[in-house]
């Protein structure tokens, strides 16, 4: 299960057959695309060039990215534009709530760019979005995927006090790769953010995920799982890193599906309530279905 970094100057690793991405269109996909456009919303599906866009949008699932299309960070894995963001749009929460109601979503994932330019990192805007969603779609469960709110005292508490059903913050990679892959972030801080979220709101499920194939070792992946369980994180996602462009970090290895299966087994043995691990797993892919299954199982047990 060990992964190693590529040899400097080596040729790009060819993409394997198990990473075939479904292409095409459908009436529902086009309806989802039109609704997103008409609502003036941004989605991480498009901005991050997610390989699961066709699958998700064909089921009327879209992960909305609030607080604009421009991020104040420049992570080596991410396709989202970097620069100076526009001012926060106060009409966005209402437009988001309207789109979710029209899509009739049972579960919605709301994420954002990093907004280091804002005093609270965008925390109050997350809350405004949650309030608008509950006003229009009170039965829809809400999952928020936040930035790290680094150097934003009190921002995390603002968000988790609004009681999202799931609080998600992705570690993205192992500690040894942070300097190269997540410059501007800090592994210990991100891990602490997750622990503090659970401590502040014990009834809220917490979630995190990492990418593999960036040069990490298998033992490092298992160690991150242990760190997350020590922080009482409930849900885990693991997916293959895919290079968005030649300007991004190269792929060190395409991890085989059987390795993902072993990771999933190890994660469940460590006590995660929900685990999604596969080459095309992404943080919000099938998030609604997975969460619904967990809630149904808990009702049966109760």
- pLDDT given for residue 7 in this prediction: 37
> Confidence band (pLDDT; 50, 70, 90) for 244?
confident
- Report CA 217 to chain centroid distance, whole Å: 22
Per-residue confidence (pLDDT) for residue 36, from 0 to 100: 72
Q: What is the tens place of the pLDDT at every residue in 253-280?
A: 999 999 999 999 999 999 999 999 999 8
Q: How confident is the model at residue 11 (pLDDT cuts 50, 70, 90)?
A: low
Q: Residue 60: what pLDDT? A: 63
Mean pLDDT of the chain: 87
The verdict on residue 4 lying in a domain is no
Of residues 212, 226, 224, the one with CA closest to residue 280: 212
DSSP class of 216: -
Local confidence band at 290 (pLDDT 50, 70, 90 cut-offs): confident
pTM of the full structure: 0.89
Say what the pLDDT of residue 8 is.
42
H/E stretch holding 8 reads: none
| 49-53, 245-249, 265-269, 283-287: range with lowest mean pLDDT | 49-53
What phi and psi, each to the nearest 5 degrees, are found at residue 234?
-90, -40
* Per-residue model confidence (pLDDT) at position 4: 42
Specify the DSSP class assigned to residue 172: B
**What is the per-residue pLDDT across 171-227, written as a single tens digit (0 to 9) for each?**
999 999 999 999 999 999 999 999 999 999 999 999 999 999 999 999 999 999 999
pLDDT of residue 130 exceeding 70, the answer is yes
Cross-strand partners of 105: none
The answer to whether residue 255 sits within a structural domain is: yes
Asked whether 204 and 165 are in contact (CB, 8 A), the reply is yes
Tens of pLDDT, residue by residue over 142-172, are 999 999 999 999 999 999 999 999 999 999 9
Q: What is d(CA 276, CA 262) in angstroms, rounded to the nearest whole number? A: 12
Q: How far apart are the first and last CA of the chain?
A: 38
pLDDT score for 2 = 45
Q: What local confidence, expressed as pLDDT, does residue 5 receive?
A: 41
How long, in residues, is the chain? Answer: 302
Nearest partner of 234 among 166, 282, 281, 300, judged by Cα:
166
- Domain with 109, as residue range(s), is 20-301
Does 3 map to a domain? no
Q: Structural domain tally of the chain?
A: 1
Selection from 195, 185, 48, 155 nearest residue 111 by Cα: 48
The lowest-confidence range among 61-65, 153-157, 243-247, 264-268 is: 61-65
Rg, C-alpha atoms of the chain: 18
Domain annotation covers residue 169: yes
Q: Residue 54's pLDDT is what?
A: 61
Query: Is 2 domain-assigned?
Result: no
Residue 109 near residue 287 (C-beta atoms within 8 A): yes
Task: Please write the tens of the pLDDT for every residue from 101-114.
Answer: 988 888 889 999 99
Q: What is the CATH number of the domain that holds 68?
A: 3.20.20.70
pLDDT score of 12: 66
Which tens digit of pLDDT belongs to each residue from 35-59?
777 777 777 666 555 665 666 666 6
Q: What's the token pair of residue 253?
A: 């290895």
Q: Are strands 107-112 and 274-277 parallel, antiparallel or unpaired?
A: unpaired
Give me the pLDDT at residue 164, please.
97
pLDDT in the model for residue 284: 72
Is the model more confident about 126 or about 65?
Answer: 126
Does a structural domain hold residue 8?
A: no
- Burial (Cβ within 10 Å: 0-12, 13-18, ≥19) of residue 223: middle
In a domain, 1, yes or no: no
Residue 70 lies in a domain: yes
What token pair was written down for 291?
Answer: 């969460």
Is residue 92 scored above 50 in pLDDT? yes
Per DSSP, helices labelled H in the chain are: 27-39, 44-47, 53-57, 92-103, 123-136, 155-161, 178-181, 187-200, 218-230, 257-270, 287-301
């Amino acid at each position: 299960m060990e992964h190693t970094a590529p040899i400097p100057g080596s040729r790009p690793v060819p993409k394997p057959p198990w990473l075939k991405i479904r292409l095409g269109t459908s009436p529902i996909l086009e309806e989802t695309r039109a609704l997103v456009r008409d609502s003036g919303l941004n989605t991480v599906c498009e901005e991050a060039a997610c390989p699961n866009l066709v699958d998700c949008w064909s089921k009327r699932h879209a992960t909305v990215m609030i607080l604009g299309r421009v991020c104040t960070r420049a992570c080596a894995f991410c396709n989202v534009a970097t620069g100076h963001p526009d001012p926060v749009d106060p009409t966005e929460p209402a437009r988001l709530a309207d789109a979710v109601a029209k899509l009739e979503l049972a579960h919605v994932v709301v994420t954002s760019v990093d907004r280091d330019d804002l005093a609270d990192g965008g925390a109050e805007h997350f809350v405004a979005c949650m309030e608008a969603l509950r006003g229009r779609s009170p039965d829809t469960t809400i999952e928020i995927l936040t930035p790290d709110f680094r150097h934003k005292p009190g921002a995390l508490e603002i968000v988790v006090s609004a009681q999202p059903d799931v609080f998600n913050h992705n570690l993205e990679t192992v500690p040894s790769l942070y300097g190269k892959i997540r410059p501007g972030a800090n592994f210990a801080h991100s891990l602490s953010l997750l622990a503090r979220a659970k401590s502040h709101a014990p009834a809220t499920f917490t979630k995190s995920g990492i990418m593999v194939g960036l040069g990490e070792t298998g033992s490092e992946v298992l160690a991150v799982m242990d760190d997350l369980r020590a922080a009482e994180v409930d849900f885990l996602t693991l997916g293959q890193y895919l290079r968005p462009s030649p300007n991004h970090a190269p792929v060190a290895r395409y991890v085989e599906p059987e390795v993902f299966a072993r990771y999933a087994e190890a994660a469940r043995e460590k006590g995660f309530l929900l685990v999604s691990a596969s080459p095309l797993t992404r943080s919000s892919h099938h998030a609604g279905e997975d969460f619904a299954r967990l809630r149904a199982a808990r009702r049966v047990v109760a």
